[in-house]
Amino acid sequence: MDRAKVAEVLNEIALLLRLKGESPFRIRAYENGARAIELLEEDLYTLVQENRLGQIKGIGKTLAQGIEELVTTGSLAYHEELKGEFPEALFDLFRVPGLGPKRVQTLYEKLGITSLGELEYACRENRLLILPGFGEKTQQNILRGIDHLKHYQSRFLYSEAHPIAEAIVREMLEQPGVIEVHAAGSLRRCKEIVGDIDILASSLWPVSLMDWFTSMDYVDTITGKGDTKSSVKLKNGMNADLRVVSPEQYPYALHHFTGSKEHNTAMRHIARSRGIKMNEYGLLRGEEETPISCRNEEEIFKFFGMDYIPPELREGGGEIQAAMEGNLPKLIEMEDIKGILHVHTTYSDGRASLREMVDEALRLGYHYIGISDHSQSAYYANGLTPEDIKRQHEEIDELNQLYNGRIRILKGIESDIQPDGSLDYPDEILASFDFVIASVHSGFSMDKETMTRRLLKAMDNPHTTILGHPTGRLLLSREGYPLDMEAVLEGAAKRGVAIEINANPYRLDLDWRWCRRARELAVLLAICPDAHDSEGLSHVSYGVNIARKGWLTADDIFTYPFPER
Ligand code: DGT
Ligand code: CA
Ligand code: CA
Ligand code: ZN
Instruction: Give the closest residue (by CA) to ligand 1 atom 9.
Output: 185
Phi, psi (rounded to 5 degrees) for 338: -95, -20
All structural domains of the chain: 3-150 (1.10.150.110), 156-247 (3.30.460.10), 261-325 (3.30.210.10), 334-556 (3.20.20.140)
Q: Tens digit of pLDDT for each residue in 54-113? A: 888 889 888 999 999 999 999 999 999 999 998 888 888 988 888 877 889 899 989 989
pTM across the whole model: 0.82
Q: Which residues does 235 contact at the CB level (< 8 Å), separation at least 6? A: 218, 219, 220
Instruction: Give the closest residue (by CA) to ligand 1 atom 23.
Output: 261
Instruction: Give the closest residue (by CA) to ligand 1 atom 19.
Output: 259
From the CA of 186, the nearest ligand is 1
pLDDT at 206: 95
**252 CB within 6 A, ligand 1:** no
Phi, psi (rounded to 5 degrees) for 314: -85, 65
CB count in 10 Å sphere of residue 553: 15
CA 267 vs CA 127, 263, 302, 321, 541: distances in Å:
48, 6, 13, 10, 29
Atom of ligand 1 nearest to the CA of 186: 8
Q: How far is the CA of 327 from the centre of ligand 4 (A)?
A: 35
Pocket test for ligand 1, best of 198, 263, 315 (most atoms within 8 A of CB): 198
Q: How far is the CA of 184 from the centre of ligand 2 (A)?
A: 7
pLDDT at 152: 66
| Three-state SS sequence of 433-477 | CCEEEEECCCCCCCCHHHHHHHHHHHHHCCCCCEECCCCCCECCC
pLDDT at 88: 80
pLDDT at 99: 86
**265 CB within 6 A, ligand 1:** yes
DSSP 8-state symbol, 478? B
Phi, psi (rounded to 5 degrees) for 40: -55, 135
Q: How far is the CA of 188 from the centre of ligand 3 (A)?
A: 12
What is the spatial distance between Cα 27 and Cα 18, in angstroms, rounded to a whole number?
A: 7
Per-chain residues with Cβ under 5 A from ion ligand 2: 185-186, 196, 198
Q: Which residues does 49 contact at the CB level (< 8 Å), separation at least 6? A: none
**260 CB within 6 A, ligand 1:** yes
Q: How far is the CA of 228 from the centre of ligand 1 (A)?
A: 17
In this prediction, the residues of the chain whose per-residue pLDDT falls under 50 are none
Instruction: Give the closest residue (by CA) to ligand 1 atom 16.
Output: 257
From the CA of 529, the nearest ligand is 4
Beta bridge partners, 467, equal 438, 499
